[in-house]
Chains A and B, each alone.
Chain A
């Protein structure tokens, strides 16, 4: 079974630009979560989608948005990039959806550098 796939793996943007990151979950997983990882801050929760609906949201500004498609693939978008947005963005899928918690399966991340 293929794991979680994130694209692109690396990207460089300049301040003020926007970026879209993509995540393909493990086949059959309907829940997709996004996290921002920076040194010293650990994994900061961005949002979680289940069946195309945003179910949970972390404490990030509105510049950070996401969506999920009917095939469970997900995208996140960051508009008006700031230097502080430089980070590793991790996507995780989970087989648990309608209720209850379970293991998250992480991709290898998309490393964003903002210059």
Chain B
């Protein structure tokens, strides 16, 4: 099955700086790559996603890039704010809704 690796496991940045989280996947047939944010005591929530026919997608301060050849994708958060502090998960999914997640990155934004 699909295997997703995520780095780093923890990330600490100053407010206003950028944060980058990277993931690799193993199954070249995966075609959907979402990113989820999990706040304390809550379930993960989708923040951005990208499909295999697109190389980059941006939504305000958040962007995701995908390199299908290298089988890796990244999350970029610019102008970080304290409320961005949370655990972020990347995931890769096959066409049949079999979605596998990375181990997560705990992001801390220091004011």
Q: Give the B-binding residues of A (Cβ under 8 A).
A: 4, 31, 33, 35, 40-45, 48, 50, 55-56, 58-59, 90, 92, 94, 96-97, 99-104, 106-109
A33 in contact with B99 (CB, 8 Å)? yes
Q: Give the A-binding residues of B (Cβ under 8 A).
A: 1, 6, 9, 31-32, 34, 36, 41-46, 49, 89, 91, 93-104
B43 in contact with A108 (CB, 8 Å)? yes
**Cα–Cα, bound, A40→B10 (Å):** 11
With contacts A106-B43, A108-B41, A108-B42 taken as known, whether A55 is within 8 angstroms of B101 at the C-beta atoms is no
With contacts A4-B43, A101-B31, A103-B34 taken as known, whether A48 is within 8 angstroms of B97 at the C-beta atoms is yes
**Cα–Cα, bound, A27→B7 (Å):** 35
* Chain B residues closer than 8 Å to A106, beta-carbon distance: 36, 43-45
Nearest residue (CB) in B for A47 is B98
B43 in contact with A94 (CB, 8 Å)? no
B41 in contact with A43 (CB, 8 Å)? no
